[in-house]
Every structure is written in structure tokens, then in C-alpha cells.
A and B are shown apart, each in its own frame.
Chain A
């Protein structure tokens, strides 16, 4: 009996063939290269570029230490600058109407007393409604700053009196762009990698070429590596382009080692690409496979990776869930590489998990794949 062994010839044939598919199909080529950059621009701007300095007018009727402390939180956040301090409503209105202020803060006379007595103090905010978008963002930030102030109080809190509660959906914790862009790159790449491989495998099931392929002596591991290799190269380039955009478009400094970045990217890609392959062992049509890939990557990466919402603030069981979210580790390590807030040894744990994830998912995909129809 012919020994069934791994063949480099077959693997190389599969790799070449896959490259040809990509190169000759402008659509998949565009998707592979443009999608991450477009997503980065869209989300990057949506999340961070709204963070411009907003003009604030303050009417402090209390003039207490507490109220001053509260107001100071606004310029301190770097999103607001106090353009005027006024003594009556007429001036508030005038400044808003002239467009010189985006937001007005009116602190009631009993602000400090209410807080001391453990009641909640209601602060009135008024926004320039002519630019609804900016007003929304300003209100959202005001709310975030107010919440932050409240958490420093033990038994009392400050509430904003706003008619329509508008929340800032993105960036609710007011993280700075430097933190968000590295995380965003990790999130986008998580989605893209799984999508790319899940599509290329399911396309073969759908078009009938897989039926022909599984009737040959090809080995599943050759098939997987052959599918992953070209997308690995694309993934590395995607990450490099995204990082370059982070640096030059979003002004995030890249302080860490470039080689470290490449190494981590490689580890991440093996896991991400394997995840896409695993998805395609379950979903054999392109539509289902791409949807499944999106579901298993996008939501967890967006919500549970710690990129927008700090994992420490999550309920316990969600914190536990985040351990199997691959993006979590890549987000952490990328932030570390960009900002070098801590030495690389600090993220050793994340690296180990990234490696474990890659090995585990590849093994599961390999175990699940059958050279059979139906």
C-alpha cells in the first residue's frame, strides 16, 4: 500500500493554485487588500475623529468646591475647553445661538449640599441643536465625564438633566485614539482573516472543485496549509499597511520593535486563518460561511476584546468568556507594541494564549475536516 505521507510537492501545488485564484480574481484581491484599510478608516474616524475639542460655557450657580471640581473634569478630559463662564441664562443662550459654544453646563445652587446629603444632584446641560451630530457627541462625552465624577463619590451622584438621552455608542469610555487604533487594527484583522479563508474553502465546496479534490490523495493538512499560505502573506501585508495607516493617518506612535510586530502578527494569523477554515468545515456555502465567520469574529472582537470596553469592568462570566476571544490577546499585544507602555515580557501571557489558540483551532479544524461529501 502506498504510504500516505505529507507531500511538499502537493503542498506547493496547492499554494501556487491558490495564489493564481487570488491574483486572477480582482474582487478577492481588492477584498483582501482594500477591505481592512477601508474598515480602518471608517471605524477609525467614527470612533476617534469625532474627538475634537468642544466649546463649553459654564453657568455655575453653586460656586462651591464640589462644583468647581466637577467642572474641572471637562477641560481635563481634553475634549472640552471652557470658552466662557457666565452668570445668567441669557448669556448661555446667546453663546449657544451664536455658535460660540457647543454645550452649556448649568449647575444648580444646591449642588454641593445635595451631594453631601447623599442625594443626587441634577446638572442641566444645553446643546447647540443645529449640528445634531456634534451635539450628540458632546452630550455623550458630558455624560461620560459626569459618570466618571460620580464614581469618585461614595453615596451620591450627579445626574444630567437632558431631555432626550443620547448615548455615544462608540468609545463610551472615552479612550484616547492612541489606545483605540491599535485595538481596531487587531479587531479588523481578526474579522478579515477568518472571512478570507472561510470564503476560499467554501467556494470550492460550492463550485464542485472540492468534490474533485477530495477524490485525490491530497491530505487535509496539505489542503489547509495550501489555503492558508497565500492568505498568510496577504495578512502580513494587511497588518503592515494598517500599522502604517495608524502611524501616518491617525498619528499613533509606533514605539515598539518592528520584528516583534512581525512575529506576533504571524502567530495571530495562524489562529485567525485556521478559524476561517474551521468555519468552512461546518458551512459549505460561501454565504453561510461568510456569515458564520462574521458572527464568530466580529461581535466577540468588537465587544469582548477589551478594545472599547475594558474587560475589568465586565461581569465576571463575560470576563471568563473573553479568554477564548483571540482578538483580546492581539489587541493587548498590539497596544503594547505601539505604545510600549510596558516591556514585552508584560504581554508574555497574551502571547502564550495567542499561540495556544492557533494550535488548538488548527487541530480542531483538522480533526473536523473529512474528505467526504455530505
Chain B
């Protein structure tokens, strides 16, 4: 078994004239948890679908668990689990019935079943709801059931498409606890997410935008790789301050984080300019410091820059 779970090169998919994904190059090691982030329509789902062998790629190559998505999609399917973005289990089947259905599909041996079932239900706090029809579960419970079904056959790679979207914080914590437990067992996880605090927990993060992977690295390196620095300003009138600054510098560079103003500056000279703008607007700066960017800052920076380049 090679150490590489996923090897992707030049992968692309077009829908008519439009390329949903293009020129994707990526390698994911076994045992990694790789996070895919990107705005709506970036191509995350399309990527997942190609890698899980359920959507034909228009160009490029990819091997998943050692098998080509073009020639051996069925061999891939036997080794992975996929949790689609849309709830894909049967609402009229109970928790238990869904779980057993998936155990049967993957031909999980009878003797392994019961302990595994109990463990997964316990893990996801679904034991009290085992006889409940899936459609009557809360959003978070539905997602945890999806994960339980995905884990019933011990996959080598787990593909999760925005699994915690719309899930309450408690269930999200449960969910990630299970993911980490799987990771410890050597399962590779490929997850897309809209939550950047979740991306922060990944060993590596790929940032997708307009069908391309525009950045891909560890969360730490991504933050360090942000050129310039991030300035945090505390003012008495954060909203007015933002408006004044946005008018001069462009709205993409200024954002509000709970009363604090985050400003992306390229160099020290610009910091001077900022002070001048605020002074002119009659806004006093109460405190000022250089902060380490969050992934959100990184995300916003690269996406806006990519947009600006596309517009030019």
C-alpha cells in the first residue's frame, strides 16, 4: 500500500461551456486530513464527485487509493466512503435500518456487525434514537448518522462534502471527535467545509475558487504566507471607521471582527496613511496592534485578489 491516498493531476470537469473545476493538481498522504474550502460554486462538490468515481472527469488524471478514477472507479468505491452534501440516506428508514442497509451494501461480515453498530451509535450519541425514522432526526443527528453509515465498512479514505453545514456546535464537536478517532486509526479524510475553524483543524487546506485550487498548504504556512501584515484597530466608532477606510482603500481590505477593525496592509507606509485617513474623519484610534491572521483573513485575501485578477 503506497503512502499516497490521492494523486490528482490536471483534473477538470466542464458542464457545457463552463468549467466547474480545471487544472487541479493535488497529492494527499495516507492518514492526512485534508480540508477543501472555497466560496459557493467554487467546485468543491464537483471535485469530490470526480474523486469518488461518480462523476466522469472531462480531463486530467487522478488515482484514489491506488486506482484510476477513469478505469477503476468501482475498485475505488469499494475502498472509500462518501457523504454527499445533500442528505443521501433514506428518510423513511430508521437509524438502525439505514446503518444495516449500508453494512449490507459493503458486505460487512455478520460477526463484526453488532459491536460496530453499537460503537458507532454510541459514538454519535444516536443510541436513544435508533428506532427513529431518519427524516425525524435533527440536522446534526442526520449528519452524524450519515457519518456512521460511512464508517460501517472501515473505509481507507473518507470523503465528506460539507458535513457540518447547518449543524449545531454540540453536534459539530461530536462529529469532529469521531473524525479524529478515525484519523488515529489511519483513515485518510478529505473534507470540504464552509467553517474556517474546521479548516484550521486540518493537516492541510486547499483553497478553491472559480474551479481552481488557488492555495494549498498547512494552516500555519497559509497564514505565514500572507504578504504584508494584518493590523487590528480599536476605535470608538468602528462602523464609521470602516466606511472611511473602505472609501479610500477599497472595501475588500477592511473587515469588522466583533467591534475590531481588521486592515490588511502591504507595508509600514500604508499604516501611516491609515492613521491619516482616520484622523481626517475625526475618529480616534484607541489601540493598535499587528496580529497573526486567521484562516478567514487568508481566505478573504486570496479570494478577493483572485477576483480582482479575473476582473482585470
Residue A17 contacts which of B73, B74, B90, B133 (CB distance < 8 angstroms)? B90
The answer, yes or no, to whether B278 is at the interface (CB within 8 Å) is no
B266 CB within 8 Å of chain A: no
Given contacts A1-B75, A21-B90, A21-B92, contact A211 B54 (CB under 8 A): yes
Question: Interface 1/0s, chain A 211-240, versus B by CB < 8 A?
Answer: 111111110000000000000000000000
With an 8 A cutoff between CB atoms, is A209 at the interface?
A: yes
- Asked whether A217 and B104 contact (CB < 8 A) given A209-B88, A211-B84, A374-B55, the answer is no
Instruction: Give, as a whole number of angstroms, the nearest-CB distance from B77 to chain A.
Output: 5
A215 touches B78 (CB 8 A): no
Chain B residues within 8 Å of A16, by CB: 101
Is A122 in contact with chain B by the CB < 8 A criterion?
no
Q: Is the CB of A214 within 8 A of B104?
A: no
Q: Are A208 and B86 in contact (CB under 8 A)?
A: yes
B84 touches A217 (CB 8 A): no
**Contact present for A212 and B92 (CB under 8 Å):** no
The reply to whether B84 and A212 contact each other, CB–CB distance below 8 Å, is: yes
Whether, in the assembled complex, B93 has its beta carbon less than 8 Å from a beta carbon of chain A, the answer is yes
Residues of B within 8 A of A371 (CB): 53-54, 73-74, 77
Query: Considering the chains assembled together, what is the distance between the CA atoms of A211 and B73 in angstroms?
Result: 14
A2 in the interface (beta carbon within 8 A): yes
Give Cα A218 to B53, complex, Å.
13
User: Which of A209, A217, A373, A374 is the one whose CB lies under 8 Å from B77?
Assistant: A217
Q: Determine the distance from Cα of A340 to Cα of B53 in the docked complex, in whole angstroms.
A: 54
How distant is the Cα of A1 from the Cα of B74 in the complex, in angstroms?
10
Task: Name the distance in Å between A225's Cβ and chain B's nearest Cβ.
Answer: 14
Residues of B contacting A25 in the complex (Cβ-Cβ under 8 angstroms): 92
Residues in B44-94 with C-beta less than 8 Å from chain A: 49, 52-56, 67, 72-75, 77-84, 86-90, 92-93
In the bound assembly, the distance between CA atoms of A231 and B204 in angstroms comes to 49
B25-56 residues with Cβ-Cβ distance < 8 A to A are 49, 52-56
Q: Which of B67, B75, B82 is A212 in contact with, Cβ under 8 Å?
A: B82
Residue of B49, B52, B54 with most chain A CB atoms under a 10 A cut-off: B54
The answer to the question of B15 belonging to the interface, with a C-beta cut-off of 8 Å to chain A, is yes
User: What is the size category of the interface that chain A forms with chain B?
Assistant: 20 to 34
Give Cα distance in the complex from A215 to B75, angstroms.
11
Q: Mark B80-124, 1 if CB is under 8 A from A, else 0.
A: 111110111110110001001110111100000000000000000
Contacts of B100 in A (CB 8 A): 13
How far apart sit A211 and B87, CA to CA, in the bound complex (Å)?
Answer: 10
In the complex, whether A10 has a CB less than 8 A from a CB of chain B is yes
B174 CB, min distance to chain A CBs, angstroms: 21
Taking a contact as CB atoms under 8 Å apart, the answer to whether A217 and B78 are in contact is yes
CB neighbours (8 Å) of B88 from chain A are 208-209, 211-213
Least CB distance, B67 to chain A, in whole angstroms: 8
Q: CB distance B82 to A17 under 8 Å?
A: no
Q: Is the CB of A10 within 8 A of B105?
A: yes
In the assembly, what is the distance between CA of A216 and CA of B54, in Å?
Answer: 10
Complex: A129 Cα to B42 Cα, angstroms: 71
Is A215 a contact of B82 with CB atoms below 8 Å? yes
Tell whether A373 pairs with B55 under 8 Å between CB atoms, given A7-B107, A211-B84, A217-B77: yes
Residues in A190-223 with C-beta less than 8 Å from chain B: 208-209, 211-218
Number of interface residues of B (CB under 8 A): 36
Q: How long is the Cα–Cα vector from A17 to B134 in the complex, in angstroms?
A: 13
Contacts of A213 in B (CB 8 A): 88, 105
Closest to B97 in A: A20
* CB-defined contacts of A9 to chain B, threshold 8 Å: 104, 107
Q: Is the pair A216, B106 in contact by a Cβ cutoff of 8 Å?
A: yes
Check if A4 is an interface residue, CB within 8 A of chain B: yes
CA A78 – CA B14 in complex, angstroms?
68
A24 within 8 A of partner (CB): yes
Interchain CB contact under 8 A, A2 and B84: no
A211 and chain B: residue at smallest CB distance: B84
* B105:A216 contact, CB within 8 angstroms: yes
Contact with B56, one of A208, A214, A372 (Cβ below 8 angstroms): A372
Provide the residues of chain B in CB contact with A2, threshold 8 Å: 75, 78-79
| A258 within 8 A of partner (CB) | no
B87 contacts which chain A residues (CB < 8 A)? Answer: 208
A239 to B241, CA, bound (A): 77
Cα A307 to Cα B89 with chains together (Å)? 43
A89 in the interface (beta carbon within 8 A): no
A170 adjacent to chain B (CB < 8 Å): no
Q: With A and B bound together, what is the CA distance between A213 and B90 in angstroms?
A: 11
- With A17-B90, A209-B90, A212-B89: A217-B74 Cβ-Cβ less than 8 Å: yes
Q: Tell me whether A12 is interfacial, beta carbon within 8 Å.
A: yes
Knowing A215-B52, A215-B53 touch, does A13 contact B105 (C-beta < 8 A)? yes
Residue of A nearest to B84 (CB): A211
Closest to A7 in B: B107
CB pair A20–B54 under 8 Å, yes or no, is no
Interchain Cβ contacts under 8 Å between A and B, 30 examples = A2-B78, A4-B75, A7-B107, A10-B107, A13-B101, A13-B105, A17-B97, A20-B92, A20-B93, A208-B84, A209-B88, A209-B89, A209-B90, A211-B49, A211-B54, A211-B86, A212-B83, A212-B89, A213-B88, A215-B53, A215-B54, A215-B82, A216-B106, A217-B77, A217-B78, A371-B74, A372-B54, A373-B49, A373-B54, A374-B15
Not counting A2-B78, A215-B54, a sample of 18 additional A-B residue pairs whose C-beta atoms are within 8 angstroms of each other reads A1-B67, A1-B75, A9-B104, A10-B107, A13-B105, A16-B101, A20-B90, A20-B93, A20-B97, A24-B133, A212-B82, A212-B88, A215-B53, A215-B84, A216-B106, A371-B73, A372-B54, A373-B49
Task: Name B residues whose Cβ lies closer than 8 Å to a Cβ of A.
Answer: 15, 49, 52-56, 67, 72-75, 77-84, 86-90, 92-93, 97, 100-102, 104-107, 133
Interface residues of A (CB under 8 A from B): 1-2, 4, 7, 9-10, 12-13, 16-17, 20-21, 24-25, 208-209, 211-218, 371-374
Q: Which 10 A-B pairs have the closest CB atoms?
A: A212-B88, A13-B104, A215-B82, A208-B86, A217-B78, A216-B105, A24-B92, A2-B78, A211-B84, A373-B55
